[in-house]
Structure 1
Amino acid sequence: MALLAFSTPNFEYKGKVVYAVVTYTLLLLLYAANNLPYSALSGGVITGDMGERNSISAYRFVAVMFAQFFVQVFMLPIIESAGGGDKAVGIEIVMTWLAIIGTIMLLITFFTTRERIVPKPEQKSSVKEDLSDLFKNKPWVITLTVTTLVFVTLAMKGGSYVYYFKNYVDADRLTSFIGPLLDFLSSIGVNFFGEDPVSAGFGLFNAGGIIFMIVGIGLSKKLADKYGKRDVFMTFFIYFNFVYHLLLFLLFNICRLMFASQILHGFFYGITIPLLWAMIADVADYSEWKTNRRATAIIFSAMMVGLKGGLSIGSALLAYILASYGYDADLTQQTAITITGTKMLVSIYPAIPFLLGVGLLFFYEINKKMEVQIEAELKERRQS
């Protein structure tokens, strides 16, 4: 389906649009059907050891960030090379490679993993009972809300960077700042960012954030094992929110500080990434601990709804805020009010959902002490 979605059939324009909508929608549905059990597998059923879950989640998201870095930095040159300059052909060829690799990796995952934490054979429950348990599960409600708020922020912030670099960042200052680095990369034949200062600056800005996200993810397990997931998640949420957003808002057009803030963002946010998914698995344990019924699938399903809802809300808010500040894509130079709105979109507005999330985490009761208690008592029940 990925290959079909990224192929270009020889249709009329309207036919191509219909083809793209249908195939991409089917691709997203199949991805959701695949990613949901995969997320539940990595977070909730292959081990009951919370420390091992921290480790699994960290490895998973290190791989995710490497893949994201590869796509952002190397994918376009690979596509152009594979297609001989024809991007449509190049995309089909590259997607064929990726589809084959992805299929092989999924088969390896299927044949080499084993579910160790499964519901008891005698467990009988209906969807109604599972939903009732969910809404009585305070940590689940908080985690769902925090997940939604996190992805509202990510959608707003990620989408607004394009407008920020295009309409606000001074191209001359950016050229002066990144020029030596681009010259060095060109001299060794690895400049994949191009010569346009805005596009290259945007690419380097994102690449720097991803690199330090990987560093942060690598540290998350040790911190979570020592202090507990909730406390580490909340602490670095606060660091990320204040240091990054306030620094970026106060020092907008100083390039070195913009890039420094992105590096801090990557590092602090990277620490929280695997912890969120490990916390969702903890919520599944908490539910079993309280009700004596395991409901991993529905808990992760609901979290996926929160994730998709957050992305949708964030994207809608981005469009609404840009429109409210009078953004006009046809203008070469945006108005002062629009530029102010763009600055707010990469700083103050995304900070609001994050602050709400931090506030909610104060009421999330699964701290380090409770993690140990839940793990020990569930282990005893399963062995009896």
Structure 2
Amino acid sequence: MNTLQNQKVSMAEKIGYGLGDCSANLVFQMMMIYQTKFYTDVFGLEGAIAGTVMLVARIVDAFVDPTVGILSDRTQTRWGKYRPWVLWTAIPFMVFYILAFYNPGIEDKGLVALYATISYTLLMTMYSFNNTPYSSLGGVMSGDIKERTSITSVRFIFSTIGQFVVQGLTLPLVGKFSEDGDKGHGWLCTISLFAVVGFIFLAIAAFSAKERITPPANQKTNLREDIKDIFGSIPWRAMFVLTLFVFITLAMWGSAMNYYFEHYVDAGALYNFLDRMGLVSAEAQDSIGYHILNAFGLIVSSPDKAYEVGFGVFNMLGALVQFFGVIILSNYLANRFGKKNTFIVCLTLTAIFTAMFYFPAKENIELMFFLNFLKSLAYAPTVPLLWAMIADVADHSEYIHYRRATGFTFAGVVFALKAGLGVGGAILGFLLSGFGYVSGVGAVQSESAIHGIILSSSLIPAATFFVGVIALCFYPITKQYNEKMQAELAERRSKQN
């Protein structure tokens, strides 16, 4: 059963598994792009306090993430080790998602901060209990290198769809659902809609995917050996640092661009840009496409409303470019040049294009969108490669130590992902406070605050991207090494059977 010939995965199974990551991104993208701004503008928290809320959850994660990896590795059911966790945690995961973006209407800012800390920590905890087994599941669906890359590519096509929906439609839907200017109601309706869809997709993923790789038959349960093998692994340490700094950057840049569009980009120029795209309300317009766009809140009525739609369109462009980049480039480049080399070149280009957001004038909307196109195209091939490389790290541990702890391997990297998410948001919060950002909807910002927003959208995240590039240089699993390793592992597994 473990021979590579019997580890081909059908497209239906890949799609079913991929829907799980679409669900995860309905949550993850929301936290990455909107969590900081929700705390500062809806809850009214200072940037530094919002950042502290995110850092507190990281302390809890330090205990939760390895626990999830240990538990999932030791789970034994007729469904496998990881699939049951995806299903068991689907409902509480989505419930805590709603609560994290629910405004309870508390006046006392200390209590608001406490509510934010508890709800955010519970959401991140449940994210671990769901996403660590889900990610581990992708590492045991096949040992075939090309199949594994294909699985992750399909997975991240659906991930990009989730990204497209959240980044592009959230603010327009919030505006659409807001009653008499009540943004809290708009957020609650929007998040509840995403949560229902997310639960359905997780259930489909749990019932679709199959586990084909199992630990060596003679492997004994030994937590001390698992910890020793993983922490002593150079590939794992390289991937941990890479993941940490990539997601620090994504969280910082994604959230900062929200502020960038609201406070730096010229509203009149953005309105005119949207008008040229046919996204400005017109009484004479009566086409089906116009009504569909209006139903999703993508028609703007005045320059003061241009930020919500403009930022959504900006994000949707990036998601579309990334979507086609994953489909067209990722498999091709990885198979030809290897995952490591592809990742290094593409992440370097991504950092360069990110830094260039420092230069556009506030009226130069076209240049901003063009830079986003280039940045998204450069980053696209790396999206599925991250998880495929982590699966290779789990294989490397089995190859060297004759032991396999897939869940524990992925748990550490999921912790790095979530730590990056929290640290990136915290860094942005502290930067905003340091540059004098004033919290609250409609607050007027100083030149210092706006300059801080520009730096947080360009040069600072570019620098943290480059730390990830440096980490990749220490990753030892090249294309040739991986092919040799997989061939030997396949031979071992066939002999075990």
In structure 1, the partner of 2:474 is 363
CA distance in structure 2 between the aligned counterparts of 1:138 and 1:325, rounded to whole angstroms? 39
Cα distance in 2 for partners of 1:283, 1:334 equals: 47
Find the partner of 1:316 among 401, 426, 430. Answer: 426
Output the TM-score relative to the length of structure 1.
0.88
Equivalent of 2:251 in 124, 142, 155: 155
Q: Look up the equivalent residue of 2:377 and give its one-letter code.
A: F
Shift of 1:339: 2.6
- Please report how far the alpha carbon of residue 323 of structure 1 lies from its aligned counterpart in structure 2 after TM superposition: 2.3
Correspondent of 2:346 among 210, 233, 236 = 236
Whether 1:245 and 2:354 are equivalent positions in the alignment is yes
- Say whether residues 1:380 and 2:491 are aligned partners: yes
What amino acid is the match of 2:472? L
CA distance in 2, matches of 1:10, 1:319: 22
**1:297 maps to which of 407, 412, 430:** 407
Shift in Å, 1:19: 7.3
Structure 1 pair 131/265, CA: closer, same or farther in 2 (3 Å)? same
In the TM superposition, residue 236 of structure 1 has moved relative to its aligned partner by 0.6
The verdict on how the C-alpha distance between 1:229 and 1:334 changes in structure 2, with shifts beyond 3 A counting, is same
Return the alpha-carbon distance in structure 2 between the equivalents of residues 11 and 239 of structure 1: 44
- In the TM superposition, what is the alpha-carbon distance from 1:306 to its structure 2 partner? 0.6
Of residues 361, 367, 376 in structure 2, which corresponds to 1:266?
A: 376
Distance 2:453 2:169 in 1: 28
What are the Cα deviations for residues 245-299 of structure 1, in whole angstroms up to 9, with x where unaligned? Answer: 2432223432111100111111211211111111100111111111111111111
Q: CA deviation at 1:89?
A: 7.2
Equivalent in 135, 138, 142 of residue 238 of structure 2: 142
**Over residues 168-197 of structure 1, what are the superposed CA-to-partner deviations in whole Å (9 max), with x where a residue is unaligned?**
212222222222114478642214333312
Question: Residue 444 of structure 2 is aligned with which of 332, 342, 345?
Answer: 332
Q: Match of 1:352, SS?
A: helix
Alignment correspondent of 1:208 = 317
* Alpha-carbon distance in structure 2 between the residues aligned to 1:327 and 1:93: 28
363-372 vs 76-85, which moves further? 76-85
Q: How does 1:48-197 map to 2 (within 5 A)?
A: 48-74=143-169, 101-183=197-279, 187=285, 188-189=290-291, 190-191=293-294, 192-193=297-298, 194-195=300-301, 196-197=305-306
For residue 315 of structure 1, give the secondary structure of its aligned residue in structure 2: helix
Query: What are the equivalent positions in structure 2 for 1:212-227 lying under 5 Å apart?
Result: 212-218=321-327, 219-227=329-337
2: distance between equivalents of 1:185 and 1:374?
59
Cα drift, residue 113 of structure 1: 2.5
Counterpart CA distance in 2 for 1:167 and 1:91 is: 21
1:275 to 1:80, Cα distance in 2 relative to 1, 3 A: same
In 1, distance between residues paired with 2:391 and 2:167?
A: 30
Contact residue 217 and residue 273 of structure 1 kept, 8 A: yes
Following superposition, the deviation at residue 25 of structure 1 comes to: 4.2
Query: Do the aligned residues in 1 keep the contact of 2:347 with 2:378 (CA within 8 Å)?
Result: yes
Which AA in structure 1 matches 2:273? F
Q: Which residue of 1 aligns with 2:416?
A: 306
- Aligned in 2, Cα 1:333/1:23: closer, same or farther, shift over 3 Å? closer
Q: RMSD value over aligned CA atoms?
A: 3.0
Does the C-alpha gap of structure 1 residues 234 and 27 become closer, same or farther in structure 2, counting only changes over 3 Å? same
Query: Does the Cα contact within 8 Å between 2:242 and 2:471 map onto a contact in 1?
Result: yes
For residues 106 and 427 of structure 2, the distance between their equivalents in structure 1, rounded to whole angstroms, comes to 34
SS at match of 1:332: coil
Structure 1 residues 207 and 10: alpha-carbon distance in aligned structure 2, compared to 1, 3 A threshold? closer
d(CA) in 1 for partners of 2:214, 2:185? 45
Q: In 2, Cα distance between the equivalents of 1:89 and 1:216?
A: 36
Q: Is the 8 A contact 1:130 1:295 kept in 2?
A: yes
| 3-state SS in 1 of match to 2:452 | helix
Q: Distance in 2 between matches of 1:284 and 1:3?
A: 32
Alignment partners' CA distance in 2, 1:91 and 1:245: 29
CA distance in 2, matches of 1:100, 1:245: 34
Deviation sequence 1:136-192 (CA, Å, 0-9, x none): 210110100010000111111111112212222122222222221144786422143
CA-CA distance at 1:124 after TM superposition: 1.4
Counterparts of 1:314 and 1:127, CA distance in 2: 31
Could you tell me whether the CA contact under 8 Å between 2:216 and 2:402 is conserved in 1? no
Task: Quickly say closer, same or farther: Cα 1:116–1:166, change in 2 above 3 A.
Answer: same
In structure 2, relative to structure 1, the CA distance for the partners of 1:3 and 1:229 (3 Å cut) is same
- 1:334 maps to amino acid: S
Distance in 1 (alpha carbons) for counterparts of 2:172 and 2:273: 24
The yes-or-no answer on 1:199 pairing with 2:291 is no
Structure 1 residue 347 displacement after superposition:
0.8
How many residues are matched? 381
Distance in 2 of aligned mates of 1:209 and 1:3: 29
Which 5+ residue runs of structure 1 have no aligned equivalent? Answer: none
Aligned in 2, Cα 1:351/1:71: closer, same or farther, shift over 3 Å? closer
Moved more, 255-264 or 173-182: 173-182
Match of 1:285 in 2: 395
**Structure 1 counterpart of 2:98, which letter?**
F
The structure-2 alpha-carbon separation of the partners of 1:249 and 1:303, relative to structure 1 and needing over 3 Å to count, comes to same
Tell me the distance in 1 between the aligned counterparts of 2:193 and 2:118.
22
| Residues 153, 331 of structure 2: 8 Å contact kept | yes
Q: Secondary structure at the match of 1:293?
A: coil
Range 253-262 or range 179-188, more displaced = 179-188
How far apart in 2 are the matches of 1:313 and 1:9?
23
Match of 1:348 in 2: 459
Question: Which is worse superposed, 202-211 or 94-103?
Answer: 94-103
Map 1:5-84 to 2 at 5 A.
Answer: 6=98, 25-42=121-138, 44-74=139-169
**C-alpha spacing 1:167/1:233, structure 2 compared with 1 (3 Å):** same
1:203 maps to a residue whose letter is G
Give 3-state SS (helix, strand or coil) of 1:6's partner.
Answer: helix
Deviation at 1:103, TM superposition (A): 4.2
Residue 140 of structure 2 aligns to which amino acid in structure 1? V
